[in-house]
Amino acid sequence: MTDQLVEWLKPKSRPNWMSAEQFAALPTSITVRELRYDIHEKGFRPKQITLATTLLDEVQYPLEVLAELFQRRWQIETNFGHLKTTMKMDVLKCQTVDGVLKELHVFAIVYNLVRQVMLEAAARQNVDVQRISFIDALRWLQTAAPGETLCTLVVNPHRPNRIEPRVRKRRPKSYPLMTAPRRQLQKKLAQQ
């Protein structure tokens, strides 16, 4: 484990996404704390993680605490995945601002309800709430009769330091994207 302060210099050329005024306002250098530590997982080679932060105080922000927070970041990514993939929130169906806001509120209510079920299941089953299966809790909510007592939910295996590639498993369809209104495309298809 290494914990060091380093000076990062302002790049010589401005990135395309930044305006000239923003680039000019940047300081010529910034002090950053670089933390390096290894993750050891049974059956795998050790992985070295480099974490850069502006939290410079070693006493107030110990390396171990920052490393743990970085590992918990994976759980946040998983939770976003639950919202977007498991609950099918990746494409919103409403077309008005009010409709989209209502749709987001409904997703938030359902998500919190699933989390409450997971919390109750974790307390009953005496495990950490993060290990209760989100999908299993959602399915129980979808199929449970009113007043039905909570059954035993699936407990996921304990997998600390889990890192997965950000890839899609299924291949996209080869159909072209809809780039014009449906009626216009239907007319064009009927003329062929």
**Residue 155 domain-assigned?**
yes
Nearest to 121 by CA among 160, 149, 146, 147: 149
CA–CA distance, 61 with 55 (Å, rounded to integer): 7
118 shares a domain with 49 = no
The whole-number pLDDT of residue 163 equals: 67
95 shares a domain with 45 = no
Nearest to 103 by CA among 113, 94, 112: 94
**Residue 165 domain-assigned?**
no
* Cross-strand bridge partners of residue 31: 7
- The number of folded domains in the chain is 2
**Residue 13 domain-assigned?**
yes
Residue 52: pLDDT band by 50, 70, 90 thresholds? very high
User: Which of 61, 91, 106 represents a domain boundary (last residue)?
Assistant: 61
Listed in sequence order, the residues at least 6 apart from 135 whose beta carbon sits closer than 8 Å to its beta carbon are 86
Select the more confidently predicted residue: 62 or 166.
Answer: 62
Tens of pLDDT, residues 133-162: 999 999 999 999 998 888 999 998 887 766
| Span 1-10, average pLDDT | 92
50 shares a domain with 100 = no
**Residue 179 domain-assigned?**
no
**Residue 42 domain-assigned?**
yes
112 shares a domain with 57 = no
| Span 35-60, average pLDDT | 88
**Residue 167 domain-assigned?**
no
What pTM does this model have? 0.63
51 shares a domain with 4 = yes
The whole-number pLDDT of residue 139 equals: 93
* Cross-strand bridge partners of residue 6: 32
**Residue 71 domain-assigned?**
no
151 shares a domain with 114 = yes
What residues make up the domain containing 121?
82-159
**Residue 192 domain-assigned?**
no
Tokens for 1? Answer: 């484990």
148 shares a domain with 101 = yes
The whole-number pLDDT of residue 102 equals: 96
87 shares a domain with 152 = yes
48 shares a domain with 88 = no
Nearest to 108 by CA among 129, 80, 130, 128: 80
Listed in sequence order, the residues at least 6 apart from 38 whose beta carbon sits closer than 8 Å to its beta carbon are 1, 46, 47, 48, 49
87 shares a domain with 148 = yes
